[in-house]
Chain A
Amino acid sequence: MIPPGLTYLADNITSKDNILGASKAAGARWAKDLNLPKDTETIFFAGCGYQYADELESMMSLIRRVDRSAVSTELTMSLAGFQKKLGIDAAGIYRKVMTKSSNADALPLRDAVKVLSNLGVKVGYLAENEPCCGGLLYYIGLHKEFTTHAQGVYDRLRSSGVKSIISIIPSCTHALSNLIPSNVTGDSLEVKHFCEVVSGSISSLKLRFPRDVKVTYHDPCQLVRYLGLVEEPRRILRAINGIELIETEWTNGEWATCCGGGGGFEAVFPELSQILAVNRAKELVDTGAEIIVTHCPGCIMQLKTGIKELKVKGVEVLDLTQIVAMAMEA
């Protein structure tokens, strides 16, 4: 009784070790020229959402088109099924994405590494060998598969010599720091979220945004309500000269409204997910901010869609890592 859209994503995790079923090399291409070491005790965990952001966006826009069209609701339920019926070839789509894009949406990752390095935090990156956290398996109820997968994740991390992790995607961070340790044997690894690490030492940097700008911040659900990171991203934003943070009325911090994505909801209810993205984007746009800052690849994709649907001009959606990197350069 699991909606087939979700079983498709689950199969991708167990068979291809990433949520989209793309190649691991594609996921790691963002870091090719950065020469990050693979054998360090502290690693940067990039996660599927950012690494496959372009693939995810192409797939979602396709799913939404189908969901809205007259091809019936039956089809979107079965992602694998409609791919076959409509002659869609996921691997082909991903190839096209790879050739046409420089993976612009992986910029948050490059910026994250840059920010960490400026703060003197040295990290490695496992690249193709970085496991998918498998959190989705847990969220959709496949706990046996999750437990097996989780053991594999931990074994691989330990055998790579990893002692501590700086993770950036909220849901991966929750999986790595809470779900996996309570489902596997052996000592836990130390897991911190990027914004925890950065907010602790941000005052050591002189930060100035290229221009005076009003921004608002969208709290990703898992970051704020699962991991309790309310103040950390705000502390980072307030440390940047030229940035004025305007909060939404009521719906900020632990009361933030979900962007309508995440947990696979968007694969089961693509159109509804878009309606929710528009609603949240409107709450954020109503603050009068020129930049919507958030800190999750799912939220970024959703809010960009929301802004586009609202036909709002002059409002950008950026990751917190990008904002900090821009303020370092200026």
Chain B
Amino acid sequence: MSVFTEYKKELMDAAHNERIRLALSRAIDSYRGNTNSALERFPHTIKMAEEVREIKAKAISEMEKLTQQACEAIEFNKGKAHIAKTAAEALKIIGELVGKDKLIVKGKSLTSEEIELREYLEEHGNEVYETDLGEFIIQKLGSRPMHLVSPSIHVPREDVAQLFSRITGEELPPDDIERMVATAKKLLREKFFEADVGMSGSNVVAADTGTLFLIENEGNIRLATGAPPVHIALVGMEKLVPTLGDAYKVAEVTWRYANYTVPSYVSMVSGPSKTGDIEKVTTYGAHGPKEFHVIFLDDGRTELAKHPVLSQALHCLRCGGCLYECPVFAVTAGHFGDKYFTCMGAVWTAMITRNMEKAAAIAYTCLTCGRCKVRCPMEIDGPEMIIALRKLIAEGD
């Protein structure tokens, strides 16, 4: 079967799957309601998004310079910074840092999905736990994430109850979501403290101070990046902005458009854990990790930044708002995509993970209806990108 035929079959199976449609229609209603009320409560977000558009546009144009600056800052903070030109290089660096037979707890990271980090570490004899509830569900289902912020968006509660009943051997009622959450907590609690390595991504990074922002609600990222002796973060270079102040603005706009008034936790990590409480002698590895590594991933990003139209993809904050407005996504979830979804997924598949045939299939699934652009705080023009990408596919430039 050709790539297109296989993709179309998967897409149509999803479109006929009532479970996906049910889960998504619930999610779309609640996203729109939550976001509208979050924006009403904090109306300054609209103006702030304008500022962030300028911050991102400038940052993307000087991505390489900012990466150098961030590396220096992280080293100054006694962390270790690495630049990976390719996905293979990133895997090699992380593989060497981790070693074999290790227990790893992971926070949700799309960049790690992009380079298939979990699979790589498992193949090399490590035990990896996804600790975000959605990612945990996906991992246990043997499925793949179907949304940027809510990876298990396509799984209705009834299916989660069934999955957890199977894992624990106890019968979980499908309406008791609280008990499902408690079950995941129980299954994962000890892993945080037994783990050799904690891993994360980052929503935005301040180049001047080398500070990683981690936005979350569950508290799993605080535990995963706080409890183990080593913290390794994998960050796409497009996440860099010049200053701590810029990074804060990016973070606030990101969570607001991800439908939160304010998230429960925002961690700012700049270096390893340290104390000077005994005779002012700085000693590393107090309560948190003694080692802190950041891997900045290029893998096509600096090349993509040069494209006059497609570079918009690098402005994406990964809030996931556009997905709730895409009529195709509403019936197929992330099957309309690859590592990333919808129009953004098409560009990413073409330019970053570089699977042109798959990218073409995704690109011609876009309706070019443009409602994603209306939602996007960065005003990324989905149809414009898709048409430029189709030109690239049809004419080679």
A-side interface residues toward B, CB under 8 Å? 1-3, 6, 73-74, 77, 138-144, 221, 225-226, 250, 254-258, 260, 262-263, 265, 268-269, 271-272, 275-276, 279-280
Contact of A225 among B9, B356, B373 (CB under 8 A): B373
Measured in the bound complex, the distance between the Cα atoms of B370 and A221 in whole Å is: 7
**Is the CB–CB distance between B5 and A275 below 8 Å?**
no
**Is the CB–CB distance between A1 and B357 below 8 Å?**
yes
Measured in the bound complex, the distance between the Cα atoms of B11 and A77 in whole Å is: 14
**Is the CB–CB distance between B390 and A141 below 8 Å?**
yes
> Is there a chain A Cβ closer than 8 Å to B167's Cβ?
no
By a CB distance below 8 angstroms, the chain B residues around A268 are 364-365
By a CB distance below 8 angstroms, the chain B residues around A142 are 391, 394-395
Q: How many A-B residue pairs have CB under 8 A?
A: 102
> Is there a chain A Cβ closer than 8 Å to B393's Cβ?
yes
By a CB distance below 8 angstroms, the chain B residues around A226 are 370
Mind listing 10 A-B residue pairs with CB under 8 Å? A2-B364, A3-B364, A140-B364, A143-B394, A221-B367, A225-B374, A254-B371, A257-B327, A262-B367, A272-B331
Per-residue A-contact encoding for B309-339, CB less than 8 Å = 1, 0 else: 0000000000000000101101110000000
**Is the CB–CB distance between A1 and B356 below 8 Å?**
yes
**Is the CB–CB distance between B395 and A144 below 8 Å?**
yes
By a CB distance below 8 angstroms, the chain A residues around B330 are 279
**Is the CB–CB distance between A265 and B367 below 8 Å?**
yes
By a CB distance below 8 angstroms, the chain A residues around B387 are 138-139, 141
**Is the CB–CB distance between A272 and B368 below 8 Å?**
no
**Is the CB–CB distance between B8 and A2 below 8 Å?**
no
Q: Assuming A73-B9, A139-B368, what are 20 further A-B pairs, CB within 8 angstroms?
A: A2-B390, A73-B5, A74-B5, A77-B8, A141-B387, A142-B395, A143-B391, A221-B367, A221-B371, A250-B32, A255-B325, A255-B374, A260-B367, A265-B365, A268-B364, A271-B12, A272-B11, A276-B328, A276-B367, A280-B327
Chain A CB count within 10 A is highest, among B4, B367, B391, for: B367
By a CB distance below 8 angstroms, the chain B residues around A73 are 5, 8-9, 12
Measured in the bound complex, the distance between the Cα atoms of B363 and A268 in whole Å is: 12
Which A-chain residue is minimally distant from B393 (CB atoms)? A1
Tell me, rounded to whole Å, the shortest Cβ–Cβ distance linking A190 to chain B.
25
Contact size class for B?
35 or more
A-contacting residues, B142-187, CB 8 Å: none
**Is the CB–CB distance between B393 and A141 below 8 Å?**
yes
Per-residue A-contact encoding for B66-82, CB less than 8 Å = 1, 0 else: 00000000000000000
Measured in the bound complex, the distance between the Cα atoms of B360 and A6 in whole Å is: 13
> For the complex, would chain A's binding face be called helix, strand, loop or mixed by DSSP majority?
helix
By a CB distance below 8 angstroms, the chain B residues around A262 are 367-369
**Is the CB–CB distance between A275 and B368 below 8 Å?**
no
By a CB distance below 8 angstroms, the chain A residues around B5 are 73-74, 77
Per-residue A-contact encoding for B348-392, CB less than 8 Å = 1, 0 else: 000000001100100011011111011000000000000101111
Measured in the bound complex, the distance between the Cα atoms of B388 and A141 in whole Å is: 7
**Is the CB–CB distance between B15 and A275 below 8 Å?**
yes
**Is the CB–CB distance between B395 and A221 below 8 Å?**
no
**Is the CB–CB distance between B371 and A257 below 8 Å?**
yes
By a CB distance below 8 angstroms, the chain B residues around A256 are 371
Measured in the bound complex, the distance between the Cα atoms of B2 and A221 in whole Å is: 31
Which A-chain residue is minimally distant from B368 (CB atoms)? A263
By Cβ-Cβ distance, the 6 closest A-B pairs, closest first, are A141-B390, A258-B369, A141-B394, A1-B360, A225-B370, A221-B369
Measured in the bound complex, the distance between the Cα atoms of B11 and A138 in whole Å is: 25
Measured in the bound complex, the distance between the Cα atoms of B371 and A280 in whole Å is: 14
By a CB distance below 8 angstroms, the chain B residues around A250 are 32
Measured in the bound complex, the distance between the Cα atoms of B394 and A128 in whole Å is: 30
Measured in the bound complex, the distance between the Cα atoms of B371 and A200 in whole Å is: 27
Contact of A279 among B32, B327, B395 (CB under 8 A): B327
Measured in the bound complex, the distance between the Cα atoms of B366 and A262 in whole Å is: 11
**Is the CB–CB distance between A269 and B365 below 8 Å?**
yes
Measured in the bound complex, the distance between the Cα atoms of B390 and A221 in whole Å is: 19
Tell me, rounded to whole Å, the shortest Cβ–Cβ distance linking A3 to chain B.
5
By a CB distance below 8 angstroms, the chain B residues around A275 are 15, 331
User: Given A254-B374, A258-B367, A276-B327 in contact, is the A2-B394 Cβ separation under 8 Å?
Assistant: yes
**Is the CB–CB distance between A140 and B369 below 8 Å?**
no
By a CB distance below 8 angstroms, the chain A residues around B357 are 1
Tell me, rounded to whole Å, the shortest Cβ–Cβ distance linking B4 to chain A.
7
Which B-chain residue is minimally distant from A179 (CB atoms)? B387
Measured in the bound complex, the distance between the Cα atoms of B381 and A302 in whole Å is: 25
Measured in the bound complex, the distance between the Cα atoms of B353 and A161 in whole Å is: 51
**Is the CB–CB distance between A272 and B371 below 8 Å?**
no
Measured in the bound complex, the distance between the Cα atoms of B171 and A216 in whole Å is: 48
Tell me, rounded to whole Å, the shortest Cβ–Cβ distance linking B146 to chain A.
17
**Is the CB–CB distance between B395 and A141 below 8 Å?**
yes
User: Given A2-B364, A257-B327 in contact, is the A225-B391 Cβ separation under 8 Å?
Assistant: no
By a CB distance below 8 angstroms, the chain A residues around B394 are 1-2, 140-143
By a CB distance below 8 angstroms, the chain B residues around A3 are 4, 364
Contact of A272 among B2, B4, B12, B395 (CB under 8 A): B12
Measured in the bound complex, the distance between the Cα atoms of B388 and A143 in whole Å is: 9
